[in-house]
Amino acid sequence: MQIGSFGLDDLQDGPIIDELNDRRRSIGLPVSERLPWQLMPVATWLPELIRGAEPAAPFGRREYRFEDAEGPVTVTQRPAGAGRRPSVYATLGSAAGGVEGTALAYRAVLAALADVDADVLFTIGKTDPGALGPIPANVRVASYVAQREAMMCDAAVIHGGSGTTVAALYRGLPTVCVPLFADQFHNATALAAHGLGLTVGADRAAQELAPAVHRVLTEPAFRSSMARVADELRAVPTADLLVRSWAEQPARV
């Protein structure tokens, strides 16, 4: 199963092969010098627009429908109405709070959210709320909120992690990415390249995040592009249908 792009510039084959061989030994299979996608069919919920240019998968690569941690994605449109205040969901992911040096990014994002003309939910995982400084009046801070609730909004400020990125894509939510590490820069670049959102560097977030959020909330092109992608993604087969279609294709060992 693929949950991140195989086409990242800094992806190293050696550690992947070593990890795979540790698993192979543990279940009595012979070791191999080939990469996982060279040995068996690949199943992924990561859309092609995010995967980008990737190495060939000789035995095939198939997409299946993404699900939230709580279950299938549910898309609930917020009620329209004149004068309704926009809502924004902001998150830097579940892992960033434990990474050294990310506290500055959290504080910069929070400071910028104060200037966003919207009601904002900012989930911070294990980050200490006391380390963030004053909480703006328009921002509610929480450790965790289920995506089906958090993403019932008009736009999302995200870190660009694969799961959060795809959850926003399935809902057609225009995004502003503030990438911090790993595949987040790759994913953020892909969204911007397809006109689905904007990217702001963590070191510029305090100054540039609020104007970027204003753009994705008010410029129709972002929402229309996201809506088109969301329609396409929701036509992808579910995981159980994909498994059944591959049931007669044994993995190569």
Tokens linked to 80: 């329209």
In this prediction, residue 39 carries a pLDDT of 72
**75 pLDDT higher than 90:** no
Q: pLDDT per residue over 119-132, tens digit each?
A: 999 999 888 888 88
Q: pLDDT per residue over 150-197, tens digit each?
A: 999 999 999 999 999 999 999 999 999 999 988 899 999 999 999 999
Q: pLDDT per residue over 50-67, tens digit each?
A: 887 777 776 777 888 888
Give CA–CA dist 134/144, Å, rounded. Answer: 19
Task: Identify the structural domains of the chain with CATH numbers, from first to last.
Answer: 13-65+236-246 (no CATH), 87-233 (3.40.50.2000)
What is the 3-state composition of the chain as percent helix, strand, coil, each rounded to the nearest 5?
Answer: 40, 15, 45
Give CA–CA dist 29/153, Å, rounded. Answer: 47
* CB distance 156 to 139 below 8 Å: no
The residues pairing with 90 across neighbouring beta strands, listed in sequence order, are: 122, 157
Q: In whole angstroms, how far apart are CA 227 and each of 17, 77, 148, 168? A: 38, 12, 17, 11
Angle, to 10 degrees, between the axis of helix 205-218 and the axis of helix 103-113?
A: 50
Reported as type and span, the H/E element at residue 241 is helix 239-246
Give CA–CA dist 84/87, Å, rounded. Answer: 9
